[in-house]
Amino acid sequence: MSEPAVGALVRALLDDGAVRLLLVEATGPAEHTRQIHGLSRDAARLGAEAVVAAALNSAHVKGGEQMSLQLQGEQPRCAVYADVTADGQLRARITPTDLRLRKGRLDGTLLAVKSLDGRELYRGVTSVTDCSLEHALAQHLASSVQVDDVFRIGVRQDDEGRILQAGGLLLERLPAPEVDAEGVSVLEPEAFWDRYGWVRDADITQLLGSLAFGSLGDVPLRVLEQRTLRWQCRCSRDRIASVLRSLGPTEIRAMIDEDGGAEVVCHFCNTAYAFDVPELQALLG
């Protein structure tokens, strides 16, 4: 497998700072997710949407924080997980790998969690009823953030299911500052929707193309930051050893006596970690 591909997250302002734009280009990481897990066309599309959504959420984490998106599908039965760190490391997994959707729609529960060193800082739960992941995430944002916003995700595939384009945007009307700030513009809700309401129904491919040239429609962007996104698993031999140690002495002794060792495969990157008897015995000490 080649080196995990990279993408980008761009933070920008429009209308003299009255509107914030988060833009994600994640074609490489989305295609890497498809390849490494051997995903079917529908599973690859859902995985790409999850990668883009997680990447958009990376703008809301800092330091050692991590944001994860978890979708538990009931109809059809499936599980989607994607997470991202503040420095742009993201990963995803989808089961089953041969998932088939009803015109891209599903039922289930969407969970968004922000955490720091395993400690949960925020949790949001949204019901998903006969809709796409994009629509479910838009509902989640509307209920949790409670600002005027437009959320879009676009994925384009070839006949074999390969990801040709995966990107998205989050457009938010910023509230008026609590203290008067010189040069800061404020856009009222009605004006925001008059000016940007068309984005909700616009062709996403054309939108992403326009943004790549520095504008949204006829409104120019003022770019504040561009951050690299990289598909990066965070597994390691030490972390796997800690997981084995947490199973307790009884389980470890069973691995020694009955199996003569242990092998643990990472669910994200499929790396196999083998532990022989002496290594397992060391975990008992």
19 near 192, Cβ under 8 Å? Answer: yes
Please give the Cα distance from 143 to 179 (Å, whole number). 26
* pLDDT above 60 (res 4): no
**Class for domain 6-231, per CATH?**
alpha beta
Please give the Cα distance from 271 to 155 (Å, whole number). 27
Instruction: Name the residue ranges covered by the structural domains of the chain.
Output: 6-231, 237-284
Please give the Cα distance from 192 to 186 (Å, whole number). 10
What is the reported pLDDT for 182? 58
110 vs 57, which has greater pLDDT?
110
Please give the model's pTM, rounded to 2 decimal places: 0.88
Average pLDDT of every residue of the chain? 90
| DSSP codes joined into one string, 214-262 | TEETTEEPEEEEEEEEEE-----HHHHHHHHHHT-HHHHHHIIIIISSE
Q: For 175-191, write each residue's pLDDT tens digit.
A: 876 545 555 678 899 99
Please give the Cα distance from 149 to 188 (Å, whole number). 12
The encoded tokens of residue 170 equal 């989050």
The encoded tokens of residue 111 equal 């969970």
Q: For 131-172, write each residue's pLDDT tens digit.
A: 888 888 888 777 766 678 999 999 999 999 999 999 999 999
Confidence label for 1 from pLDDT (cuts 50, 70 and 90): very low
202 vs 3, which has greater pLDDT?
202
What is the reported pLDDT for 183? 58
Length of the chain counted residue by residue:
285
Picking from 57, 37, 178, 41, the residue whose alpha carbon sits closest to that of residue 100 is: 41
Please give the Cα distance from 51 to 54 (Å, whole number). 5
Q: For 189-247, write each residue's pLDDT tens digit.
A: 999 999 999 999 999 988 988 898 899 988 999 999 999 999 999 899 999 999 999 99
Domain 237-284: CATH superfamily is HSP33 redox switch-like (3.90.1280.10)
Percent of the chain beyond pLDDT 90?
73
Please give the Cα distance from 221 to 247 (Å, whole number). 52
